[in-house]
Amino acid sequence: MRTDTEPEKRHAHELIERLPDSQLATAVRFLEFMLPDKVARAVATAPPDDEPVTEPDRIRFHAGEAWFQQHGKGTPMEDFLAEFGVAAEDFPLNPTDTL
């Protein structure tokens, strides 16, 4: 069994760098699908959220923003997740995602 995968990884990185920006999201989803992680595979194969934003959605969003301006910060994510017995570390994130 071969363990030196550096040339293949380097080649994969070179191919990704050559992709046009319009194809990067597809490449990332494909790579996520190939991971043995079932959650990552589920995320990669989930359909995109194409539901339109409605006027009631916008109203609720702006009402929420106003509430936070009046009351300050809300419940920390760690506290919210703890109510369900989970932690942020239980959810794999992309390197660019933040909670």
Strongest mean pLDDT among 3-7, 22-26, 28-32, 39-43: 22-26
Q: Which two tokens stand for residue 99?
A: 């909670």
The string of pLDDT tens digits covering residues 12-34 is 999 999 999 999 988 888 887 78
Verdict on whether the full-model pTM lies above 0.85: no
Q: Which two tokens stand for residue 51?
A: 């539901």
The string of pLDDT tens digits covering residues 46-93 is 888 888 989 999 999 999 889 888 888 778 888 888 888 888 887 766
CB-based contact 41:32 (threshold 8 Å): yes
CB-based contact 99:77 (threshold 8 Å): yes
What's the full length of the chain, in residues?
99
Report the C-alpha gap between 61 and 46 in whole angstroms: 25
* Dihedral of alpha carbons 5, 11, 15, 17, sign: positive
